[in-house]
Amino acid sequence: MIQGYKYEIKVNNKQRSALQVCAEINDTVYNMTIRAIYDRFDANTENRFWKLNELQGEWRKTRDANPRLKSMCEGVPSMVANFACLRADQAYKRWWKKKAKKPREKKRRGSKFTIYRPDYGKNWIKIPKVGIVKAKEKIRFEGEVGSVAFSKRAGRWWASFSVDTEKDIKESNGGVVGIDWGLNAFVTLSTGEKVEAPKPYAKELKRLKRLQRQYSRKQKGSKNQKKLNAVIAKTHFKVAEIRKDFINKLSKRLTKEYGAIGIENLNMAGMIKNRHLSKAIQDAGAGEFFRQLKYKAEWYGCEIVEADRWYPSSQTCSDCGLILSGDQKLQLNQRTFLCPGCGFECDRDVNAAKNLENLIVDRERFSRIDAPEESPSRATSEDCDVVERPRGTGKQVALFSA
C-alpha cells in the first residue's frame, strides 16, 4: 500500500529562495507541457500524441534557448522538470481516458515540486542542487520511498514522502539496481560498486593469452605445438572453472539482493564491446553471466529489465537525460562522464549502470499511467506521487523498443 507521510521542514533564507525557484520551474514546465500537448493535438496531424521523453526533450530545448530559464535551472534538480512533464502527461491521459477533467494551465503560484527518491536520514532530506534540509520532527516510517513532494503553505514548507509500506527496505529483495558489464570491472553497479573478476581468473587468463601467442608462433603440426595445445586446453578448463564459480556466486547474490535489475541489451553487450579480440574469452563470461542472472531471477522473484538494443546507456547523462552526440560523445578511453548539459560528473561505468537503473525507474512512472485499476483517490492525490513497482515476476520487459 502506498501511504503519505508529511513533515514540516526548516529552511533558511537561501534554501527558501532555492525551493521557490524549483516550484516556479515546476509550474513553468507543467504549463508549457500542457500547451505543447494541446497544440499538437489541435494541429490534428497524423502524430497527435507526444511521448513522455519527447516532452521532456522539448522542455530541455526551450530551456537551453532561453538564458533566463537556463540560469534559473542551475539550482533546480533536473528531476523537477521531468516530473512536471510527467504530471502534465498523466493529467492529460486521465482526461483522455475520461477519468478526470481536462487539465488546465496552472496559474503561476510556485508552491510545489516533486523529486524522486532523495537521500534522507533521521531528520534530514537531501535535495539535489539545493542541499540538506532539516525536518522539524523525526522522519519515521517503514517501507520504501518512491517520491517526495515539497509544498509551501503560508510561507512554510512541507515534505510529503510517498511510501510503499508493503516493502520493507531492510528486506533483501527490495531495491532496484542497474548493472553495466564493462571493459574494466566485470560489472559495475549503479550503487557505485565495481565487481572485479577474481584475481586467479585474471592471472590464468593472462597466461592463456600468452600461450595462445606462443602457439601461433610454433610450426604448424609440430610436436611442440601439440604439447602446447594440451597446456592451453588445461588452462582453458581452469579459467572456465574459476569463471563458473564466480559467475554463479555473483548472479545469485544480485538476484537475491535486488527486486529488479536493469541490464544492457545482451546482443549489444556481446557485440559492441567485442572489438578487442583479447576480450573474447571474457565476453563468453558475460553471456554466461547474463544467462544465469535471468534464470536465477525467476527463482528468487527478481525482475530483469533489458534495455532496447539501441539504448545509449554509456552516452546518456544519468542525471539530466541528455544524450551525447557528435564529437561530444564519450570515447572508449574516457573514464569519466562529464555532462555538458548539467555538469554532472561520474565514473563512466557507474553512469551507464545508473541509466540502466533508470530504465526501471522510468518504466514505473509509465506503468503508473497505464495502470487500469488505479483508484481515484490515488489518481487525484495531489500530495503524493505514487510510484508503484510490480512485484518481481522474473519476466523480462523490453523498453524503448522500436
Active site residues: 180, 264, 349
Q: Which residue's CB is nearer to Zn ion, number 128 or number 198?
A: 128
Q: Which residue's CB is nearer to Zn ion, number 74 or number 382?
A: 74
Q: Which residue's CB is nearer to Zn ion, number 36 or number 339?
A: 339
- List binders of Zn ion among 302-321 (CB under 5 A): 317, 319-320
Closest-CA residue to 144 (of 124, 178, 172, 123):
172
Residue 178 C-beta: closest distance to Zn ion, Å: 17
Contacts of 149 by beta carbon, 8 Å cutoff, 6+ apart: 112, 113, 114, 159, 160, 162, 383, 384, 385
Residue 269 C-beta: closest distance to Zn ion, Å: 24
Q: Residues in contact with Zn ion, total (CB under 5 A)?
A: 8
Which cell numbers in the block locate residue 361?
Answer: 525507474
Closest-CA residue to 269 (of 199, 360, 188):
188
Determine, following the binding rule CB under 5 A, whether residue 390 of this chain makes contact with Zn ion: no
Q: Which residue's CB is nearer to Zn ion, number 208 or number 320?
A: 320
Contacts of 391 by beta carbon, 8 Å cutoff, 6+ apart: 259, 301
Round to whole Å and give the CA distance between 272 and 292: 21
- List binders of Zn ion among 73-112 (CB under 5 A): none
Q: Which residue's CB is nearer to Zn ion, number 198 or number 341?
A: 341
Round to whole Å and give the CA distance between 78 and 113: 11
Residue 190 C-beta: closest distance to Zn ion, Å: 16
- The secondary structure element, H or E, covering residue 306 is strand 303-306
Residue 311 C-beta: closest distance to Zn ion, Å: 17
Of the candidates 263, 322, 346, 360, which one interacts with Zn ion according to CB under 5 A?
A: 322
Residue type, 350: V
Round to whole Å and give the CA distance between 62 and 364: 26
Round to whole Å and give the CA distance between 355 and 321: 9
Characterize the bridge pairing of strands 124-127 and 112-116.
Answer: unpaired
Round to whole Å and give the CA distance between 270 and 280: 9
Rounded to 5 degrees, what angle do the CA atoms 208, 213, 218 make? 120
- List binders of Zn ion among 323-362 (CB under 5 A): 339, 341-342, 344
Residue 328 C-beta: closest distance to Zn ion, Å: 11
Binding site for Zn ion (CB under 5 A): 317, 319-320, 322, 339, 341-342, 344
